[in-house]
């Protein structure tokens, strides 16, 4: 939409006679529209894939052991829940504290959504899924590079298994 706006403004600028003040104003408007389009693109590029990218970052070394709390949630398509990817990891006391805080914050947000009467059930479900993605994205960032590598490996293995299952279930003609 913004590139179209810039094009329209340029056409209007080129096809009509304006005073010098109006030309300067239109030039500033065009520059502003271009800057706004660039800013919107940059914001979209860095905000939306941030959580998804959290599961695709490469890493380094591990730390002292502590078992992972399991909070699996069933997935509608039968895929593994995000919690399952984190099972079996051993956390440091600092990681445990940070992860507990992340879980508490996420639960508070979920409770607010569950009590909101203005939202439809579909909207509530979408928000809850979003909060779950944000929660596990935040937990992923707390992990050491080696732990992140383990989680990414589990995610990839799960995707490969899902693809193999889909291939065997899809009838060949």
Residue range 88-116, pLDDT digits in tens:
889 999 999 999 999 999 999 999 998 98
Predicted local confidence at residue 168, as pLDDT: 82
The tokens describing 138, both together, are: 């935040």
Does residue 15 have a pLDDT over 90?
no
Concatenated DSSP letters for 83-139? HHHHTT----HHHHHHHHHHHHHHHHHHHHHHH-TTS-HHHHHHHHHHHHHHHHHHH
Range from 7-16, 135-144, 164-173 carrying the lowest mean pLDDT = 7-16
pTM of the model: 0.51
Query: Is the predicted pLDDT of residue 146 greater than 90, yes or no?
Result: yes
Task: Tell me the mean pLDDT in the region 34-48.
Answer: 64
How far apart are alpha carbons 173 and 88 in whole angstroms?
42
Position with higher pLDDT, 54 vs 29 = 29
Contact status, residue 127 vs residue 119, Cβ threshold 8 Å: yes
pLDDT value, residue 92 = 93
Write b or e for each residue in 10-34: b if 16 or more Cβ atoms lie within 10 A of its Cβ, otherwise e: eeebeeeeeeeeeeeebeeebeebe
pLDDT, residue 6, reads 62
pLDDT for the residue numbered 57: 42
Residue 74: predicted pLDDT: 42
Q: What does pLDDT average to over the chain?
A: 74
pLDDT of residue 76: 46
Predicted confidence (pLDDT) at residue 49 exceeds the cutoff of 60? no
């Amino acid at each position: 939409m913004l590139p179209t706006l810039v094009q329209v403004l340029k056409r209007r600028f080129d096809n009509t006679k304006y005073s010098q003040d109006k030309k300067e104003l239109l030039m500033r408007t065009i520059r502003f529209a271009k800057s706004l389009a660039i800013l919107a693109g940059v914001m979209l590029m860095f905000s939306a894939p941030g959580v998804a990218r959290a599961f695709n970052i490469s890493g380094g070394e591990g730390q002292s052991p502590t078992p992972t709390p399991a909070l699996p949630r069933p997935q509608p398509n039968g895929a593994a829940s995000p919690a399952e990817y984190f099972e079996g990891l051993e956390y440091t006391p600092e990681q445990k504290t940070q992860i507990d805080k992340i879980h508490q914050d996420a639960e508070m947000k979920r409770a607010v959504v569950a009590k909101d009467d203005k939202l439809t059930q579909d909207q509530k479900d979408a928000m809850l899924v979003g909060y779950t993605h944000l929660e596990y994205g935040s937990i992923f960032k707390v992990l050491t590079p080696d732990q992140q590598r383990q989680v990414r490996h589990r995610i990839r293995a799960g995707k490969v298994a899902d693809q193999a299952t889909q291939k065997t279930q899809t009838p060949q003609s």
